[in-house]
């Protein structure tokens, strides 16, 4: 696996964790988004997103993935 890809997957995982933490103060927020989702699933979803959206970046992919998991 390419090191840059590892960095992007880790960043998206951190984004999901941070967004979940932020949701902990919201009674209607989902605090378990991404639970049970594997590293490989996130990696492949990022790759697919970036291929389909070449003018977007990792942050856009993270938001899209989070919204899909929510």
Residue ranges per structural domain of the chain: 3-23+34-69
Q: What are phi and psi of 52, to 5 degrees?
A: -80, -15
The pLDDT value given to residue 25: 77
Residue 62 · residue 15 · CB < 8 Å: yes
Q: What percent of the chain has pLDDT over 70?
A: 94
Residue 34 · residue 16 · CB < 8 Å: yes
Report yes or no on whether pTM surpasses 0.95: no
Q: From CA 25, how far away is CA 41, in angstroms rounded?
A: 28
pLDDT in tens, 25-50: 777 777 889 999 999 999 999 999 99
Q: From CA 51, how far away is CA 34, in angstroms rounded?
A: 22
């Amino acid at each position: 696996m390419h090191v840059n890809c590892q960095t992007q997957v880790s960043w998206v995982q951190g984004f999901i964790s941070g967004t979940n933490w932020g949701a902990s103060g919201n009674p209607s927020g989902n605090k378990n988004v991404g639970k049970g989702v594997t590293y490989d699933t996130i990696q492949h979803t990022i790759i697919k997103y970036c291929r389909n959206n070449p003018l977007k970046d990792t942050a856009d992919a993270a938001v899209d993935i989070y919204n899909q998991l929510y």
